[in-house]
Amino acid sequence: MEKLQGLLWRATLINWAGSVILVLPLLWALAVEQPFYSLGPFEENWQVGMGIALLGGIIILFSFGIFFGLMRASARAADDGYGTLTILEVLTDKHRDTGFLIQGKRHFGLLDANRRMAVVSARLRGAGLVLAAALWFVIGFGLAVTLAARGFLTPSGIWLMTVGPTGFMLAIGLGILGMSSIKVHEVRSGWDAQEGSGRVQSEALAWTERLDQSGDAVVLGSGPKGEGNRFRLGATVVVLLFLAASVPTMTVAVTASIGPILAEIAVPAFLSVQEMAGGAEALRLYVAEPDPSTTPAGAGRALQNIGFVGGGDPEPWELAPQNLYEEGWFPDPVVFPDPFSESTAFELMSVPFSERSPEDQAAMQQAAQHPAHAEFHLLSSAALVDVVRGRWVVPFPDSLTFEDLPWPRFQAFRTAGLAQVAKAAVEAENGQLGDAEHTLRELISTGFLLIDQGPTLIDNLMGVVLTDMGGDALEAYYARIGEDERAEALEWAREGAAAAASRSRAGTLPEDIHSLLQGVPDLVLTEGALRGLRWEYFATFNMLAPCINLHKMVFGPDETYDDWRLDARDALVRVRGERDLFELAEGGALGAGEQEMQGFLPRFLSLTLGSGGAPGSCASLIASLQSGD
């Protein structure tokens, strides 16, 4: 029993330390209202928050280990014949004077039995309340978060449910203990003044007699005996309390780091594509005038037709071309023209036919006469293009996500662009100079159509490639027909535009994840930014919204996020197909359907954060990412 003396207080204080370290930062993160693009109070330094939570969790685990050991040791003491009340008095004997108190020895002899009984009861009640406050601080927080994630509590409700009972029990417990200590201090002071310490030795010898032989002199008695099973049950309760305290709270601690980790993985800086598009702006002067009779739907179908020149099977949820061209642009596009050289377009235009092999001449003639050039002609006259309804099957199924959409056929468009250059080269060879320049303008116009209106970054990048092809070929064309000044002026303008785009980005555009996330909402609404970049960031940001910070994980996105989403819809949706694409992007990583909780981490998160597979849940997002792996 001597080893148990006062140990309950040690375990309680350790538990308090762990609870404060673990819960207070989480309470702060939940209570502080963060912008919907914020990663939370620790921002990208999620390791700090995780480290604090881990430290608090380890301390709490250690304290519950002590509690468990105390229950087991108390059970053995009960089996040895000690009474339950005696065991509790020993466990809470912080001052190591309870033995004197219950027998009325030393300075406690100045108190009558009723007053000593009141002091003993106060110590037991006070210790119990302080312990209950420490336990509730963790358990109550976990319960409050669980209720809040299901819509039953507000941020202030979490604080009230966690801190309210904790503070009340702690204040009452400390008040009871304080009043008891004051009473004991007064008695001790009086005893020291009246009788001194001469009686200490004799009373210490008297204490060596067995407790039960003290009879009625022991206030409250020793309590019932043989209740070891109750303490063993208490050990089981300790385990259950630990689970009740650790599962919800550690869930919240773990999820607090998920947002920053996902953001670093899923929000790459695509701003280099914006720079490339800016470098192509010098060629916008050569864009053809749009024809109002060209419809967005017709332009969308023309884009899809170009992607399937020479054959090919549509992927799931990809539309088949309306006009099918079985013959390819070139007999063997892998061999000629060189698909890997960046100077291929310039060489196609600059090298005379007389210096080419008969095979290359035949290949260029085949490309020049290909009927699919009509698709370029239509695209060059389009003011708007409905890429979505021209490329994909709509309406989209509930199970489809933005990231699952079939990618644009980049290589097919690159080959088509080279075929357009080959057509212009053949026309220049035949003396059709006006037709040759017009063909290159159609290529540049198609490139800018994809740059300006493509809903994916691949579309925008394809547009940059086609535009650069047209610019390279146009420089070579001017040099070929002897207009060196125009060729040099175009080269100078393009180099200047590329340098200006690079310089405008240097040192000004955000690269770290905090600045990037902060800039994403404005970028999505910015008309001058690439539409593919805006669409990609909207879809990615909407996917991350449930997990971006702890406040959003528990309470979900707020009204400011909903307002931004509506503004994004107005800014992004211009044609019919983009309405379907916006709804798909709103579905996040799950689509519009439900996601079954599979895997340990999603199920672990769903215990506290709930969801049952509902879209918009952080647990559902993790489940979808795991299933995607």
Continuous segment of H or E residues that includes residue 260: helix 228-266
pTM reported for the whole predicted model: 0.71
Q: Pick the residue with more confidence: 100 or 331?
A: 331
Write the pLDDT tens digit of every residue in 65-74: 888 888 888 7
Is the pLDDT at 599 greater than 70? The verdict is: no
Q: Indicate the range of 5-9, 54-58, 547-551 predicted with least confidence.
A: 547-551
Assess whether pLDDT exceeds 60 at residue 584.
yes
- For 421, half-sphere exposure in the C-beta direction (CA atoms, 13 angstrom radius) is 31
What pLDDT is attached to residue 75?
Answer: 80
**pLDDT tens-digit profile of 225-239?**
555 677 677 667 767
Is 80 exceeded by the pLDDT of residue 402?
yes
Q: Where are the domains of the chain?
A: 2-264, 274-505, 512-628
Q: Tell me the pLDDT tens digit for each residue of 154-180.
A: 888 888 888 999 999 999 989 988 887
Assess whether pLDDT exceeds 50 at residue 550: yes
The answer on pLDDT for 410 being more than 70 is yes
Range with the poorest average pLDDT among 1-5, 42-46, 55-59, 98-102: 98-102
Q: In 3-state terms, what secondary structure has residue 318?
A: strand
Residues 2-30, mean pLDDT to the nearest whole number: 82
- Taking each helix axis from N to C end, the angle separating 358-368 and 410-429, rounded to the nearest 10 degrees, works out to 100
Report pLDDT digits (tens) over 145-155.
878 877 788 88
Q: Taking 70 as the threshold, does the pLDDT of residue 291 lie above it?
A: yes
- 211 band by pLDDT with thresholds 50, 70 and 90: very low
**Which whole number is the average pLDDT over 276-283?**
88
Range 98-125 average pLDDT: 63
Most confident of 62-71, 215-224, 265-274, 375-384: 375-384
Q: Average pLDDT, stretch 499-513?
A: 63
pLDDT of residue 224: 60
d(CA 422, CA 470): 11
* Per-chain mean pLDDT for the chain: 79
pLDDT of residue 23: 86
Task: Kindly compute the dihedral angle of the four CA atoms of residues 88, 90, 93, 98, in this order, to the nearest 10 degrees.
Answer: 110
Residue 256 or 427, more confident: 427
Instruction: Reply yes or no on whether the pLDDT at 141 is more than 70.
Output: yes
The more confident residue out of 76 and 213 is 76
* pLDDT interval class at 40 (50, 70, 90): low
What is the predicted pLDDT for the residue at 373? 95
State how far the Cα of 16 lies from the Cα of 131, in Å rounded to an integer: 8
- CA-nearest of 440, 453, 319 to 389 is 319
pLDDT tens digits along 450-479 = 999 999 989 999 999 999 999 999 999 999
Cα–Cα distance between 135 and 158 in angstroms, integer? 16
The residue-averaged pLDDT of 584-594 equals: 63
User: What pLDDT was estimated at residue 442?
Assistant: 96
Of all residues in the chain, the percent with pLDDT exceeding 90 is 32
Percentage of the chain modeled with pLDDT above 70: 71
Give me the mean pLDDT over the 533-559 stretch.
76
Q: Which region among 153-157, 285-289, 293-297, 579-583 has the lowest average model confidence (pLDDT)?
A: 153-157
Contact of 547 with 38, CB cutoff 8 Å: no
The CA distance from 585 to 598, in Å, is 23
pLDDT band at 504 (very low <50, low <70, confident <90, very high): low
Which residue in this structure is represented by tokens 């480290």?
Answer: 51
pLDDT at 509 over 50: no
pLDDT confidence bin for 569, thresholds 50/70/90: very high
First-to-last CA distance in the chain? 56
Q: What pLDDT sits at residue 205?
A: 46
**Calpha distance 309→372 (Å, rounded):** 7
What are the residues facing 392 on neighbouring strands?
A: 318
Residue 22: is its pLDDT beyond 80? yes
For the cut 90, the answer to whether the pLDDT of residue 241 exceeds it is no
- Cβ-in-10-Å burial (0-12, 13-18, 19+) of 482 comes to exposed
Looking at residue 157, its pLDDT comes to 85
More confident residue, 140 or 612: 140
102 has pLDDT over 90: no
Angle at 250 between CA 246 and CA 256, to 5 degrees: 165
Mean pLDDT computed over 484-501: 90
Is residue 208's pLDDT more than 70?
no
pLDDT of residue 90: 73
| Residue 583, token pair as written in the block | 């709804």
**Residue 514: predicted pLDDT:** 61
Residue 318's DSSP bridge partners are 392
What does the longest C-alpha to C-alpha distance in the chain come to?
A: 128
